């Protein structure tokens, strides 16, 4: 098992042209053609997910990283920009640009990513990942999400915890192509949604302080956004806050034990797993991005709860490898779930599975038919 290692709010981006709801542009150093194709495939998933009129610029490095590290991400950041939803909070520039509607960082990238060139990678976007290999698309999808703003800027030195006190020297010898900002002891917008198990806001503790340090390693930190909670059956998603602080892993991921490999929300946990892939952000991740300010493509479904009539949803849309379903009623009350093509031909019975492989389906439009004893819902999705 290897770890993702994510740097903090200072990052650059550069290349994927998508006709969808966002456009990525890329600059590469050291990338092989295989790695580049897989990276752009991952960016394509995000291009169908988030909405931005401003191109998202990514600078991606493919080089040797410390042993056990799969990827490192630096998001460039801005605060107090035009139309900023929250004052004195750091936003990734990709998100800030999307909200402002203009490029706030001309001449700088939005996201800067380092990916390991020595890892035993699986580059194909389809098929089963061989045992012992790491799926490149999964890791790239994870790192790009940090670049979009799924990111804490917490740090603990000794017993003292802080927010917004990260410096470039914390990540030496890795650097950014843009000037590292003075974070001014201000939290990221992601940090502003973090609470303890006693519902205390993390960014209200003295900063820096030993008290804040104890909270950062309490194993009891949660994300308090309304959209993320709605996608989590009304409860707060748990954040990774182990008893020993790990810079780049702690606070900036979902909790590993709560969302283990095989869980639809596992993508944004700190550990990568060989022989496994997940090419979907998951409903909790989408909820977090929406809470921090992203406009999500109308084609992307987020699980809803507490409705008077049964609610069924499928995601992602378009789907590439796996399709996930969710409903507001128990599986016992669902009579059947069928997948049909445009001709009405049944392609498969989904048997109440929340995760179904669609990688072998031809590209095109399909329908999922949910049936209960008293209700039927038809959901359309595109196989990309």
Buried b / exposed e across 104-126, counting CB within 10 Å, b at 16+?
A: bbeebbbbbbbbbeebebbbbbe
User: Which pLDDT score, from 0 to 100, does residue 375 have?
Assistant: 62
Domain ranges of the chain: 2-292, 312-383
Q: What is the full DSSP assignment across 231-249? A: TTTTSPPEE---SS--TTT
**Under CATH, to which class is 312-383 assigned?**
mainly beta
Tell me the two tokens of residue 158: 């000794």
Strand 238-239 relative to strand 221-223: parallel, antiparallel, unpaired?
antiparallel
SS3 25: strand
Longest dimension (CA), the chain: 64
Cβ count within 10 A of residue 196? 16
Which region holds residue 248: left if phi is over 0, alpha if psi is between -120 and 50, else beta? Answer: left
Query: Which residue's entry shows tokens 């139309």?
Result: 83
Residue by residue, pLDDT tens for the chain (384 residues) are 344 444 433 333 233 333 368 999 999 999 999 999 999 999 999 998 999 999 999 999 999 999 999 999 999 999 999 999 999 999 999 999 999 999 999 999 999 999 999 999 999 998 889 999 999 999 999 999 999 999 999 999 999 999 999 999 999 999 999 999 999 999 999 999 999 999 999 999 999 999 999 999 999 999 999 999 999 989 999 999 999 999 999 999 999 999 998 898 999 999 998 999 999 999 999 999 999 999 998 766 543 333 334 567 777 878 888 888 777 665 556 777 888 776 667 888 876 666 788 888 888 777 787 777 666 677 777 887
Cβ proximity of 79 and 192 under 8 Å: no
């Amino acid at each position: 098992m290897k770890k993702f290692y994510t740097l903090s709010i200072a990052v650059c981006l550069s290349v994927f042209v998508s006709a969808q709801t966002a456009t990525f542009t890329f600059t590469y150093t050291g990338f092989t053609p295989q790695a580049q194709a897989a990276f752009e495939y991952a960016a394509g998933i995000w291009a169908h997910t988030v909405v931005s009129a401003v191109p998202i610029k990514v600078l991606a490095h493919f080089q040797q990283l410390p042993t056990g590290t799969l990827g490192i991400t630096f998001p460039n950041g801005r605060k107090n920009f035009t139309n900023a939803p929250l004052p004195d909070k750091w936003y990734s520039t990709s998100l800030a640009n999307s909200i402002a509607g203009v490029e706030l960082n001309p001449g700088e990238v939005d996201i800067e990513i380092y990916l390991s060139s020595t890892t035993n990678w699986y580059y194909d976007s389809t098929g089963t990942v061989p045992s012992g290999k790491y799926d490149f698309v999964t890791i790239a999808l994870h790192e790009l999400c940090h670049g979009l703003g799924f990111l804490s800027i917490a740090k603990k030195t000794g017993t003292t915890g802080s927010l917004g006190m990260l410096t470039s020297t914390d990540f030496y010898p890795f650097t950014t192509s843009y000037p590292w900002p003075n974070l001014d002891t201000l939290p990221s917008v992601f940090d502003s949604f973090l609470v303890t198990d006693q519902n205390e806001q993390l960014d209200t503790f003295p900063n820096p302080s030993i008290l804040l340090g104890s909270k950062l390693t309490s194993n009891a930190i949660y994300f308090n956004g309304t959209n993320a909670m709605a996608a989590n059956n009304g409860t707060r998603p748990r954040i990774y806050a182990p008893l020993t602080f790990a810079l780049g892993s702690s606070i900036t991921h979902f909790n590993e034990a709560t969302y283990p490999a095989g869980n639809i929300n596992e993508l944004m946990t700190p550990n990568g797993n060989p022989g496994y892939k997940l090419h979907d952000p998951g409903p909790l991740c989408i909820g977090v991005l929406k809470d921090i300010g992203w406009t999500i493509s109308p084609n992307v479904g987020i699980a809803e709860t507490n409705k008077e009539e049964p609610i069924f949803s499928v995601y992602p849309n378009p789907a590439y490898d796996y399709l996930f379903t969710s409903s507001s009623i128990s599986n016992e009350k669902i009579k059947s779930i069928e997948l049909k093509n445009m001709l009405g031909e049944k392609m498969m019975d989904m048997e109440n599975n929340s995760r179904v492989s669609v990688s072998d389906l031809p590209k095109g439009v399909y329908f999922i038919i949910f049936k209960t004893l008293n209700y039927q819902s038809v959901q359309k999705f595109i196989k990309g």
